[in-house]
Amino acid sequence: MAKVGIVVGSLRKDSFSKMIANNVAKMFPDGWTAEMVEIGNLPLYNQDYDENSPAEYTAFRSKVKEFDAVLFVTPEYNRSIPGVLKNALDVASRPWGQNVWAGKPAAIISQSIGNIGGFGANHHLRQILTFLDMPILQQPEVYLANSPGLLDESGRITNQDTVKFLQSFVDAFVELIKKYQA
């Protein structure tokens, strides 16, 4: 059993990333917890806050510490990750030497409304997570293209091949998490 934090890189109320994350959260085994993590309330990272952090920083860092692993679900903005996601990564990795992401297994789902499936965001995020000392699920990689067409009006993924693929992704992530729990 494990507690998995889910960080969504989009703040939009009806974001495709959030809908996909809600679908995937239900795919973890019985007894596992998957919890969405709020990142939209974090003030922009500023090193001046390292000595006297805003309450939002402290609460966020404490929340991240509670998780055994983290799943990132993000859109691609301008061939990279959204600024709000980068801010959350920076907030929880600072001050220097107090990185709360370190050692937590991570997995990435990127998505886009176009055909590339968030490839740029996925790979930029992998670079950052490697530096943050997070072991990352290597295979299968998830790039969901044309994401609006994957979801029905209630936000459920309707394509059964996509559902099966995402379940295989979650299963592989669960195995990675178990390796780091031993």
> Which pLDDT value is given to residue 159?
95
Domain assignments of the chain as residue spans, ordered by start: 3-181
Q: How many Å apart are CA 105 and CA 73, to the nearest integer?
A: 14
- Of 147, 122, 150, nearest to 137 by C-alpha is 122
Distance separating alpha carbons of residues 168 and 174, to the nearest angstrom: 10
β-strands 106-111, 33-37: how paired?
unpaired
Token pair belonging to 114: 């176009």
pLDDT tens-digit series, residues 103-140: 999 999 999 999 999 999 999 999 999 999 999 999 99
**Tokens (6 digits) for 80:** 């990279």
Residue 182 is predicted with a pLDDT of 72
pLDDT value of position 46: 95
DSSP category for residue 45: P
Tell me the mean pLDDT per 10 residues along the chain, length 182. 97 97 98 98 96 96 98 96 98 96 98 94 98 98 96 96 98 98 82
CATH 3.40.50.360 fits 3-181, yes or no: yes
pTM (2 d.p.):
0.97
